[in-house]
């Protein structure tokens, strides 16, 4: 069954989103071929924006389009993915927003009605509110909350949330602002397959993704060329049907999401929802994108500062711990183990030095059990630091009676002749994960994977493992190891 699921998830990853050949109805588009410099494709809904039928437009040389804002061509860079904007352009009796994108094949022009945006002055003020003052000491959460409430000041959305990815691309809602009476997603996790890799990739190529309607069918192109237009950089690109269904199951008619990139990697997204269809103006979207970009920079500076502080504090801790071992008597070694326990939130610790074992009090293990664990761990020579959240997963320890101890970390010193090593133990800890709906996929009549129907909180309890060994723990253990080697070889 798992293998079958894997194949279906793989199929999801193969959907060629950029070749949908259709646009959403909130805007119209036409394509200027890079070689002929003629319009070779136009969306069938274009007339509702510029009163020009696609049939009339296709075949026209770009030079003849005297109504086209020139900035769309002159301000456009030469690389695929470059964009130019012409906002609030009077056009007949209307005001329109124009956008151009360059692709490998030519230039795509997209046109939408202009509705509302934020004045430049107001925008700058909003932007400054996501930056703490000198006196303010914001934690991660303060940054997230501030971003969300600032966006809430100017985006007409019922829900605005911050979704942070985990290592394996599942994610969690870490900040949220939502109107009264609507369900809350804060603290809930969503499985990785909700945003397949192919959809995540789009966030590196586009500053945002706007889906005006999860239900309205898209418009076709009148296209002279045989191959489908490349819509990689288009804001109007039609919605994947499976995602349209997902939004409807979630009660979302309009969604607007903006990526947050940190050190070159997708870190999270801001996701904005409306339960009824609503138009978010192109200039407003652009302003929101710029604000989130600015946030990404501010936040990455904050994280660098935090990391420096962490390194310093770990160095201080390491110094204090190793000092104990330098005293070289049995009591000092016990004190050393107690410090290790405290700094790793562990339930026990043991160290082997100069051919002798020392075990912390109440470690939950006796010496014979410890030797068994040691034998199993010593047979794995893959690294100097090893760790597990469930000792029963280690070969040779499946049957170990380990009611009290579940997580183990081994730090090997291998200094000179005596092979010193330090073990750190953690007890099993119930860990509760709150999911937005049971994270299982359904298979529909066509044998395709379909989004789950309910997003109601579904809690999973895992009492089998210890708390995870975090990046901080690993960093700490590396520093401790280096310091212990220096001390022991002295
Ligand atoms: C796209 N899925 C997305 C997007 C988001 C999510 C944000 C980007 C488009 C958008 O902003 O709406 C998921 N939205 C979320 C999550 C939250 C949220 C997790 O607000 C959390 C609060 N989806 C499925 C399955 C498949 C799938 C089973 O559930 C595939 C088999 C696919 N999701 C899918 C596809 C896209 C997508 C194909 C791209 C849609 C598009 O750009 O056209």
Question: What pLDDT, in 10s, does the model give residues 65-81?
Answer: 999 999 999 999 999 99
Please write the tens of the pLDDT for every residue from 206-265.
999 999 999 999 999 999 988 889 999 999 999 999 899 999 999 999 999 999 999 999
Ligand 1 centroid, distance to 195 Cα (angstroms): 4
Residue 15 beta carbon below 6 angstroms from any ligand 1 atom: yes
Asked whether residue 449 is assigned to any structural domain, the reply reads no
Same domain, residue pair 338 and 293? no
Could you tell me if residue 315 is inside a domain?
no
- 290 and 389 housed in the same domain: no
Task: Please indicate, yes or no, whether residues 353 and 264 belong to a single structural domain of this protein.
Answer: no
**pTM of structure:** 0.90
- Helix (H) or strand (E) segment spanning residue 87: strand 83-91
Query: What does the pLDDT read at residue 2?
Result: 65
**Residue after which a domain boundary falls, among 289, 304, 319:** 304
pLDDT at 322: 85
pLDDT of 5 reads 66
Q: Which atom of ligand 1 is nearest to the CA of 15?
A: 38
Q: Ligand 1, atom 14: nearest CA belongs to which residue?
A: 271
pLDDT band of residue 419 (cuts 50, 70, 90) is confident
Give domain status of residue 446, yes or no: no
In a domain, 473, yes or no: yes
Q: Are residues 130 and 237 in the same domain?
A: yes
Show the domain range for 12. Answer: 2-304
Q: Report d(CA 90, CA 97) in Å as an integer.
A: 9
pLDDT at 363 over 80: no
Structurally, how many domains does the chain consist of?
Answer: 2
Residue 323, phi then psi, degrees to nearest 5: -55, -40
Ligand 1 and 83: CB distance under 6 A: no
| 172, 243, 247, 255: residue to mutate for ligand 1 pocket, most atoms within 8 A of CB | 243
Q: How far apart are CA 401 and CA 101, in angstroms?
A: 63
For residues 278 and 359, membership in a common domain is answered with no
Q: Is the CB of 172 under 6 A from ligand 1?
A: no
Q: Do residues 367 and 297 both lie within one domain?
A: no
pLDDT in tens, 3-24: 666 776 777 778 888 999 999 9
Q: Residue 329: CA atoms inside 13 Å, Cβ hemisphere, count?
A: 2
Measure the CA dihedral 432/435/440/444, to 10°: 170
Q: Is the pLDDT of residue 417 over 60?
A: no
pLDDT, the chain, mean: 91
Indicate whether 137 belongs to any domain.
yes
Share of the chain above pLDDT 70, in %: 96
Coil, strand, or helix at residue 289?
Answer: helix
Regarding whether 396 and 249 lie in a shared domain, the answer is no
pLDDT at residue 180 greater than cutoff 90: yes
Q: Are 335 and 274 in a shared domain? A: no
ipTM of this complex: 0.97
Q: How far apart are CA 301 and CA 463, in angstroms?
A: 37
Q: What is the best residue among 157, 193, 199 to mutate for testing ligand 1's pocket, by most ligand atoms within 8 Å of CB?
A: 199
Q: What is the CATH number of the domain that holds 49?
A: 3.30.450.40
Same domain, 66 and 193: yes
Q: Please check whether residue 388 lies inside any domain of the structure.
A: yes
Evaluate if residue 449 carries a pLDDT over 90: no
């Amino acid at each position: 069954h798992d293998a079958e699921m894997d194949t279906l998830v793989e199929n999801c990853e193969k959907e060629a989103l950029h070749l949908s050949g259709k646009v959403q109805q909130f805007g119209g588009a036409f394509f200027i071929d890079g070689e002929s410099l003629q319009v070779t494709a136009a969306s069938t809904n274009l007339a509702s924006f510029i009163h020009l039928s696609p049939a009339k437009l296709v075949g026209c040389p770009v030079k003849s389009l005297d109504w086209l804002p020139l900035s769309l061509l002159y301000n456009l860079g030469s690389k695929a993915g470059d964009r130019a904007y012409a906002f609030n352009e009077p056009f007949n009796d209307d005001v329109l927003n124009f956008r151009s994108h360059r692709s490998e094949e030519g230039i795509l022009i997209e046109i939408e009605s202009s509705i509302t945006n934020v004045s430049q002055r107001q925008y700058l003020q909003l932007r400054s509110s996501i930056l703490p003052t000198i006196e303010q000491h914001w934690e991660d959460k303060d940054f997230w909350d501030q971003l969300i409430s600032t966006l809430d000041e100017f985006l007409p959305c019922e829900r605005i949330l911050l979704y942070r990815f985990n290592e394996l691309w599942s994610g969690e809602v870490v900040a949220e602002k939502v109107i009264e009476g609507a369900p809350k997603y804060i603290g809930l996790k969503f499985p990785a397959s909700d945003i397949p890799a192919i959809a995540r990739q789009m966030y590196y190529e586009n500053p945002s993704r706007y889906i005006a309607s999860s239900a309205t069918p898209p418009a076709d192109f009148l296209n002279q060329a045989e191959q489908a237009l490349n819509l990689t950089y288009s804001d109007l690109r039609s919605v994947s049907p499976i995602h349209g269904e997902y939004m409807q199951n979630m009660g979302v008619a309009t969604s607007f999401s903006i990526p947050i990139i940190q050190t070159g990697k997708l870190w999270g997204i801001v996701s904005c929802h409306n339960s009824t269809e609503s138009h978010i103006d192109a200039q407003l979207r652009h302003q929101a994108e710029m604000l989130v970009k600015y946030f990404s920079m501010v936040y990455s500076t904050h994280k660098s500062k935090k990391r420096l502080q962490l390194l310093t504090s770990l160095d201080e801790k390491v110094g204090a711990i190793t000092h104990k071992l330098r005293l070289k008597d049995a009591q000092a070694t016990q004190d050393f183990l107690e410090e290790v326990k405290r700094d790793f939130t562990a339930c026990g610790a043991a160290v082997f030095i100069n051919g002798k074992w020392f075990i912390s009090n109440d470690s939950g293990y006796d010496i014979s059990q410890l030797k068994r664990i040691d034998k199993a761990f010593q047979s794995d020579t893959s690294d100097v630091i090893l760790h597990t959240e469930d000792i029963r997963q280690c070969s040779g320890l499946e049957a170990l009676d380990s009611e009290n101890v579940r997580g183990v970390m081994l730090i090997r010193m291998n200094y000179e002749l005596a092979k010193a090593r330090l073990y750190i133990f953690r007890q099993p800890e119930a860990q509760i994960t709150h999911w937005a709906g049971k994270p299982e996929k359904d298979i529909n009549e066509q044998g395709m994977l379909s989004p789950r129907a309910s997003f109601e909180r579904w809690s999973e309890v895992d009492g089998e493992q210890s708390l995870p060994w975090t990046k901080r723990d690993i960093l700490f253990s590396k520093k401790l190891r280096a310091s212990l080697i220096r001390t022991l070889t002295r």
